[in-house]
């Protein structure tokens, strides 16, 4: 048994079966074809079929641009890229290691832009990083001005 968050961030128990161990959901107790999905029973529990030979790969977030390239603390900045996720969830944006406040249009539903406010930092170059879940993006250079 494991737990997984749903779209609202609530955790639910999840049963995981290997395809080879799947049984007929009609109750006959006979193995099904491994390509036939097994239905979930007993909400809020779900059943997943897992192919132990398949690797689960998450695409890391990637920053392709920061608009504007410089600004003082408090400036609204738009970060563009991909794989940010459709909602903020456990995501965050940091400038030089300091977490920024999500603002303006916020986290775009198609996961390709985020609007944030530059946190209080000393002038100079800092790296901007988007973290989606626990996966960090590339670092993008931003110039903090006075």
Count of CB atoms situated within 10 Å of the CB of 102: 16
Task: Give tens-digit pLDDT for 23-69.
Answer: 444 444 444 455 444 444 443 444 444 444 444 456 899 999 999 99
**In this predicted structure, what is the pLDDT of residue 18?**
43
**In this predicted structure, what is the pLDDT of residue 59?**
84
H or E element at residue 7: none
Query: What single DSSP character describes residue 34?
Result: T
**In this predicted structure, what is the pLDDT of residue 38?**
42
Report CA dihedral (134, 137, 140, 145) to the nearest 10 degrees: -20
Given a cut of 80, whether residue 10 has pLDDT beyond it is: no
Could you tell me if 17 and 52 are in contact, meaning their C-beta atoms sit under 8 angstroms apart?
no
Supply 99's token pair.
């977490």
**In this predicted structure, what is the pLDDT of residue 90?**
78
Share of the chain above pLDDT 90, in %: 46
Q: What is the mean pLDDT of the chain?
A: 75
The residue ranking higher by pLDDT, 100 or 20, is 100
Rounded to an integer, the average pLDDT of 92-119 is 93
Given a cut of 90, whether residue 8 has pLDDT beyond it is: no
The residue ranking higher by pLDDT, 7 or 86, is 86
* Residue 90 Cα distances to 11, 64, 127, angstroms: 14, 21, 20
**In this predicted structure, what is the pLDDT of residue 37?**
46
Rounded to an integer, the average pLDDT of 96-122 is 93
Burial class, 112, CB count within 10 angstroms (exposed 0-12 / middle 13-18 / buried 19+)? middle
Give the sheet arrangement for strand 113-117, strand by strand: 62-67, 76-82, 113-117, 101-107
* Residue 130 Cα distances to 80, 100, 134, angstroms: 10, 10, 10
Count of CB atoms situated within 10 Å of the CB of 20: 10
């Amino acid at each position: 048994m494991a737990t997984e968050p749903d779209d609202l961030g609530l955790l639910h128990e999840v049963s995981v079966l290997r395809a080879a161990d799947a049984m007929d959901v009609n109750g006959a107790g006979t193995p099904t074809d491994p390509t036939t999905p097994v239905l979930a029973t007993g909400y809020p529990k779900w059943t997943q079929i897992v192919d132990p030979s398949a690797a689960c790969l998450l695409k890391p977030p990637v920053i392709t641009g920061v608009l504007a390239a410089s600004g003082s603390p408090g400036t609204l900045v738009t970060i563009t890229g991909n794989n940010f996720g459709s909602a903020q969830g456990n995501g965050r944006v940091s400038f030089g290691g300091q977490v920024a406040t999500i603002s303006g249009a916020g986290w775009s539903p198609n996961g390709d832009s985020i609007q944030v406010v530059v946190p209080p930092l000393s002038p100079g170059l800092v790296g901007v990083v988007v973290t989606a879940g626990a996966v960090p993006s590339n670092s993008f250079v931003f110039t903090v001005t006075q």
